[in-house]
Structure 1
Amino acid sequence: MKKIYHLSTCSTNQKILKEVNAVKKKAKLQDIKAEPISPEQLDEMKKLAGSYEALFSRKAMKYRSMGLHEKQLTEKDYRKLILEEYTFLKRPVAIVGDQIFIGNTKAVVEALKKALDAGIGV
């Protein structure tokens, strides 16, 4: 399986999708604003990532505005918040075979590009 959860309105996500040649590599794209992630999809991501916290973005504008930076969040909280508000998912999240790539750091993007180029998850 090759699937990338992204936000089409995010210029960084658009740049990464273009850089890794996601369409050409036949990765299934899911715009999480137009098609919200399901609890099952999130649970699958968590299984690969090891925790919901690894999938959670503290850079989301609502993180501070909701006062979450002052709270001790649990795994249950992270799951609930990501399902309620798509901006809390660290983007993009790509699943290639049994590997998961989370976020937009240079190292993650390079690793994703190599996995897609290797044809993993075909």
Structure 2
Amino acid sequence: MKKVFYLSTCDTCKKIIDSLNLPNDLTQQDIKKNNISSAELEFLKEQVNSYKDLLNKRARIYKQLDLKNRELSEDETKALILEHYTLLKRPVFVYDEKVFIGNSKTTKTALQDFFNES
């Protein structure tokens, strides 16, 4: 898979994508317009070992649903991400076997190194 999952209304996502020298074979999927599928989410989970690692704990809906005070199972976490696209930590870059999730400084540096090395 060669894809980036992002939110077009997210300035941080746009800034990160614009800062990279992305290859032409990388598909960009705006999760607001084209939700992540169950199969795509399962693929990501296999790469990171847990749906909880894909959960955006800064999303407004996370606070509204008071999820920090709940012990979520993997299945519940998956269902929530599929139901509320903003609960997917983003951006998520997948390029063959490499997966980069989120916008932490470490992740942004790794993305820069991976996509801008040429």
TM-score higher than 0.5? yes
The number of residue pairs the alignment matches comes to 117
Structure 2 SS opposite 1:73: coil
Corresponding residue for residue 106 of structure 1: 105
Alignment of 1:82-121 (within 5 A): 82-117=81-116
The percentage of aligned residue pairs carrying the same residue is 38
1: distance between equivalents of 2:89 and 2:30? 13
Q: Deviations over 1:43-71 (max 9, x none)?
A: 00001111100000110101111121211
- The verdict on how the C-alpha distance between 1:117 and 1:21 changes in structure 2, with shifts beyond 3 A counting, is closer
TM-score by length of 1: 0.90
Q: Normalising by structure 2, what TM-score?
A: 0.92
Report the Cα offset of residue 19 of structure 1: 0.9
Counterpart of 1:49 in structure 2 is 48
Query: 1:15 deviation in Å?
Result: 0.1
Where does structure 1 lack aligned partners over 5 or more consecutive residues? none
Contact 1:96 1:116 in 2 (8 A): no
- 1:5 equivalent in structure 2: 5
Distance 2:21 2:33 in 1: 21
Computed over aligned residues only, the root mean square deviation of the Cα atoms, in angstroms, reads 1.3
